[in-house]
Amino acid sequence: MIKEVAFTAYPAKNVGALRRWYEEKLGIAFGEPLLENGVEQYNEAKVGSSYFSVMTSEWIGREPGSASGIVFEVDDIDKTVADLRGKGLEVEDPYATPVCKVASLNDLEGNKVSLHQVTVPH
């Protein structure tokens, strides 16, 4: 029935500003925006085999700051956390589980973003 994740969407008051935050802070490359009356309403970035998108809170039906499900895979979580802190972001210290390390931060709109590094393939 379900064969893969099509996309994950995060709500924003200002889609353009949130998109730029993800581009500048996390290095995510977005495509062309969907505009209405000259205002960016939606944009998406291919991440691996899926898409991560930002859209207006009106379209998604959720308030900015209410999202928390995205977890981005990284090669070296300790280096990534240090790089993000160097850009002025508050990132929690990575914590270890039996198979991975995880750290989280909030995006420009207050949505929770997590970083993940596999330490034991499974």
- 91: domain CATH number is 3.10.180.10
Cα separation of the two ends of the chain? 24
Closest CA to 32 of 18, 49, 50, 45: 45
CA dist 89 and 53 (Å) reads: 21
Residue 54 domain boundaries: 7-118
In a domain, 104, yes or no: yes
What is the domain count for the chain?
A: 1
CA distance 80 to 21: 16
Is 93 part of a structural domain of the chain? yes
pLDDT tens, position by position, for the chain (122 residues)? 988 888 999 999 999 999 999 999 999 999 999 999 999 999 999 999 999 999 999 999 999 999 999 999 999 999 999 999 999 999 999 999 999 999 999 999 999 999 999 999 87
In a domain, residue 59? The reply is yes
